[in-house]
Structure 1
Amino acid sequence: MTTIPSPAPIRRRSTPEELEALPLLPPSATGLAEVVRRRYLLKMLVRNAIQSRYQGTALGWMWSYLQPAIRFCLFYFLFQVMIGRGAGMENFAVHLFAGMVMVHFFTETFNGGTMALVQNRSLITKLAVPREMFPVSRMLVAAWHTVPMVAILVFVCVLLGWTPDPAGLVAIVLGFAITALFGLALGLVFSVANVYMRDFGKVAQTLTQFVNFSVPMMYPYTLVHERFGEPIASYYLVNPMAEAVLLIQRGFWTGTTSDPAYTAGIHLPEDLYTRGLVMTLIALVCVVLAQRLFSRLEARVPERL
């Protein structure tokens, strides 16, 4: 008589409440590679963070488009209309908003990553997962909330006659890569440092306030070169966010002007792509070093929390 094997039990994904009730366990494996391997848990963290941001609001996802659109209009009215900062620059509004996209992505990644461990203390003390997952999830959440800003930017650029070119697309990719890697590196370091001393959360918020004024967003890069000369302008470009903003402006803003080659030659540095590649490699090295520092300090994170 042939026996029919019983069907395999269906595995049900645990809810966040069930995960918090698990006993205290150390992480079974650490590192960013382990974070990628456990993508199902990373997706859950990202999804919960996104849903919680607009929970209880009437407009919901509409705020993702309303807030950046209103911010764009305010900045444009202040700098273009009131004080004429963009006088002599074609489509200054695109120049400004392109920089706002990068600054928003970076500040969200940096500030969110800094608070990631402290705000997820209940999960960290219960789950046997790599704790790098929490800063990484905040970087992905920041990227998700940057998508509406990019959509608005693309829409405005298309209305102004922008057509993507291969060099511009490469610049956009490099700009986002620098921002994501550099923001993640700082998020990893500051997240574990914030566990040991909560002042690092305030330090991160203070540092991000300077980003708006330390990148060529509200003013062109040529203004720095004209006011301070070549040596200072070279030091200015050491800032990875300045390089990222220039790259996204090359990808979007220059394509909306009447003479993109002239605009890029006047308002962008000559070695933009070389600097972009070098800065991307440096940001990648920073992520590796940040992860090593994180792994050295994370052993005492549960007791500190």
Structure 2
Amino acid sequence: MRIKSVVRGSVVGMIKGLKRYRFLIWQLVTRDIKVKYRRSFLGVAWSVLNPLLSMAVISVVFSQFFRFDLPYYPIYLITGQTIFSFFSEATNLAMFSIRENAALIRKVSMPAYIFPISRVMSSLVNLGFSFMAILLVALFMGFSFTSAILFAPIAAAYMLVFAMGVGLILAALSVYFRDIVHLYGVLLTLIIYLTPVFYPYSLIPEKFRFLINVNPLTYFVAAFRSSLYDGIVPGPQINLMCVAFSLSSLLVGLLLFSRLRRNFSLYL
């Protein structure tokens, strides 16, 4: 019963905090985007060009050397790469958010979780630009989307909530354990190869599929790609797994962050 009340209190408290400080969050998101593209000749255009250029390089390599028998392989690739890159960027930015805003956290009374959440929201804006890259590739290749594309924002919302939870965990842990920055980089490298981003799920031998199945990102990529590349709304199993992983991640993130937040001032 006590755990249930703590969970309810954490969730309700976060919702109230996000509502109260929504203007500040917007200002932080705007600042992050401006800083990212400051002194850049092409500016926000890089949010579209980056996935396009990466897709072009990877598509050539994999189509020439691995010969995946997939129609419109660049579309298959960029849909998986886009949603995975969003997760990678969002969680990495969130991980540094507390330490980078240490002075503000010490001086001003406000919920510290605002900072990792704002970083995840900044990445969501970049995801919107990257979605334009998908549309451009589809237009160039003559690929037609179905009405299932309307489900793509829901699939992105699943990943958004999941990334918020992971971001809160990483942000809190990085205050105490600085080495987690390097460990997480290695972990992401491993995860991308355990997620069907570059290759189809059917290519994995049966005896190794459990490694793919226990990976949460497998389901988020599948949901996003299904609505765009496959042209169908994801089935109940994928939706259920996405909801379960998203909510679990957010709850664990909130509880861990709330617990570790008490001693931030001793380490910042």
The interval holding the TM-score normalised by the smaller chain is 0.7 to 0.9
Partner of 2:177: 197
RMSD: 2.2
Give secondary structure in 2 for the equivalent of 1:128.
Answer: coil
Residues 1:165 and 2:147 aligned together: yes
3-state secondary structure, aligned to 2:262: helix
SS in 1 for 2:112: coil
Q: Tell me, yes or no, if the aligned pair for 1:186 and 1:290 is still in contact at 8 Å.
A: yes
Q: Label 1:187 to 1:180 Cα distance change in 2 as closer, same or farther (>3 A).
A: same
User: Which residue of structure 2 lines up, in the alignment, with residue 236 of structure 1?
Assistant: 212
Please, what TM-score do these two structures have when normalized by structure 2? 0.88
1:148 aligns with 2:129: yes
Please state whether the residue corresponding to 1:218 is helix, strand or coil.
coil
Q: Provide runs of 4+ in structure 1 moved above 4 Å.
A: none
Match of 1:90 in 2: 71
Q: Secondary structure at the match of 1:198?
A: coil
1:114 aligned onto 2:92: no
- d(CA) in 2 for partners of 1:239, 1:85: 25
Secondary structure of 2:107's counterpart equals coil
> Alignment identity in percent?
23
Structure 1 CA distance for aligned equivalents of residues 187 and 158 of structure 2:
18
| 1:181 pairs with 2:181 | no
Bigger radius of gyration, 1 or 2?
1
Aligned positions, number:
256
Unaligned runs of 5+ in 2: 1-11
- TM-score, normalisation: structure 1: 0.78
CA contact (8 A) 1:116 1:191 kept: yes
Return the offset for 1:276.
Answer: 2.0
Q: How does 1:290-305 map to 2 (within 5 A)?
A: 290-305=253-268
The question of whether the paired residues in 2 share the 8 Å contact of 1:32 and 1:133 is answered with no
Aligned 8 A contact 1:184 1:287 in 2: yes
C-alpha displacement of 1:78: 0.8
1:88-128, Cα deviation, whole Å (9 max, x unpaired)? 21111111111001111100111111111011112111221
Higher helix fraction (1 or 2): 2
1:20 alignment partner in structure 2: none
Structure 1: any 5+ residue segments left out of the alignment? Answer: 1-28, 265-270
Identify which of 186, 198, 213 aligns with 1:206. 186
Give the AA of the match of 1:74: V
